[in-house]
Structure 1
């Protein structure tokens, strides 16, 4: 269940990324982080009102808030800064490649969770294929990028890894439900975003012309890419190892190609070939990645 939930997370992100493009530049990185977090928190609060939360203790609440503060608050902000500086392909290349590797190392060091050699093979196949697909999509473009953009990408990967390992350590025990964990992580992220918006005097509302219908696309993207995705991610951490989950989530770059294909865009033969190879890696992780034992 964990690996399929992780793949569901990747699919949600792939579709949401397409929808977020419709919003254009109406939202600044901080404003986008704020609104998608706020909308998701409200929705999850309604869900938790009808579904009794389980397994909540002061210690678990604090750790999940910290996980969200680092992984969502700082991590997403760093990723958005990387997007602005080095573009979407390079930002995804750095963050989505390094995050699973950092997660595997942190999980071994801090919670004693090791992955098997078969899982390492699956991780390597998936990440290498994702990298090749991203490079193939941007092969014809030449850019001069700022070094700081890559540092933000590395920072995003580190924060994602820390958030993932903390979440896995707590959810792996089976004491807390995924909805409560998602709610607390998003709240933790807002504890970073809101003060930063106030400190930088960033406008809370997006810049939208009267003719532009930004909110419907943004809300739908938020429901998929934040609310549903983080719930599935928390569910995945309860049943699969942290490094396996992070690797499968990185396939969102491949799934975005499938979304584009359904909308009439045709991928090149090399992209199609590397995507097929990535599926082999996913198959390995599906076969050998179901253990939830630390």
Structure 2
């Protein structure tokens, strides 16, 4: 179940990315992060009011708030800065390659969660395939080499990994449900985003051109890419190893090819080939994933 939830997260992100692109430059990175979080907090909060969770230990609440503060608040901000500095292909390449590796190392070091050598092979196959697909799709526009952009990408990967390991440690105990965990992580992220917007005096409201409807696409993208995705991600951490989940989520770059194909865009032979190789890696992860939960 954890594997399928992780793949579902990747698919939600792939579809949402296309929808978010349709909002143009109406939202700055910070305001996009703010509104995505606010809308999702409202939806998950309503769900929890209708179906209240059982008693949650205060220690779990604090750990999940910290996880969201680091993984969503700081991590997403670093990723957006990396995007602006070195472009989407390079930012995704750095973050999506390093996040699963950092997650595996942190999981081993801090929560004693190891993956088998077969799973390491699967991780390597998936990440190398994702990297090759991203490079094959790289736009011809050249970006100036900016060290800070790559450092932000590494920072984003580190924050994602820390957030993933903390979430896995809390959720694997079975003492908290996925909806509550998702809600708390989003709230934790807001503890970073709101003060940063206030301090930098960025407009909270998007800048929308007259006669252009941006909110409908943004809300649908948020429902998929934030609300549903973070719920599925938390569900995945409850049933699968942190490194496996992060690796499978990295396949969102491949799933975006499928989204593009459905929309009538053609894929190159190279991207199709490496996508097929990535599926082999996913199969290895799934085949040797028994005993993932503890």
TM-score range, shorter chain: over 0.9
Offset, 1:90:
0.6
Offset, 1:289:
2.2
Matched with 2:107 is: 107
Matched with 1:142 is: 142
Instruction: Between 48-57 and 268-277, report the one with greater CA deviation.
Output: 48-57
CA-to-partner distance for each residue in 1:242-277, whole Å, 9 max, x for gaps? 000000000000000110011000110011000000
**Alignment partner of 1:264: what SS?**
coil
Structure 2 distance, partners of 1:293, 1:236, is 10
1:1-294 paired onto structure 2 within 5 Å = 1-138=1-138, 140-294=140-294
Quick check: 1:239–1:290 contact (8 Å CA) kept in 2? no
Structure 2 distance, partners of 1:88, 1:237, is 27
Structure 2 distance, partners of 1:273, 1:71, is 32
Quick check: 1:172–1:292 contact (8 Å CA) kept in 2? no
Quick check: 1:123–1:281 contact (8 Å CA) kept in 2? yes
Structure 2 distance, partners of 1:217, 1:136, is 28
Instruction: Between 232-241 and 46-55, report the one with greater CA deviation.
Output: 46-55
Offset, 1:290:
4.2
Q: Where do 5+ consecutive residues of structure 1 fail to align?
A: none
Structure 1 distance, partners of 2:198, 2:50, is 33
Q: Where do 5+ consecutive residues of structure 2 fail to align?
A: none
Offset, 1:142:
3.1
Structure 2 distance, partners of 1:207, 1:264, is 30
Quick check: 2:87–2:143 contact (8 Å CA) kept in 1? no
Runs of 4+ in structure 1 deviating by more than 6 angstroms, as ranges, are none
Structure 2 distance, partners of 1:54, 1:209, is 46
TM-score norm. by structure 2 comes to 0.98
Aligned Cα root-mean-square deviation (Å): 1.0
Offset, 1:146:
1.3
**Alignment partner of 2:87: what SS?**
helix
Quick check: 1:29–1:80 contact (8 Å CA) kept in 2? yes
Aligned residues: 294
Structure 2 distance, partners of 1:122, 1:80, is 29
TM-score norm. by structure 1 comes to 0.98
Structure 1 distance, partners of 2:180, 2:144, is 43
Quick check: 2:15–2:256 contact (8 Å CA) kept in 1? yes
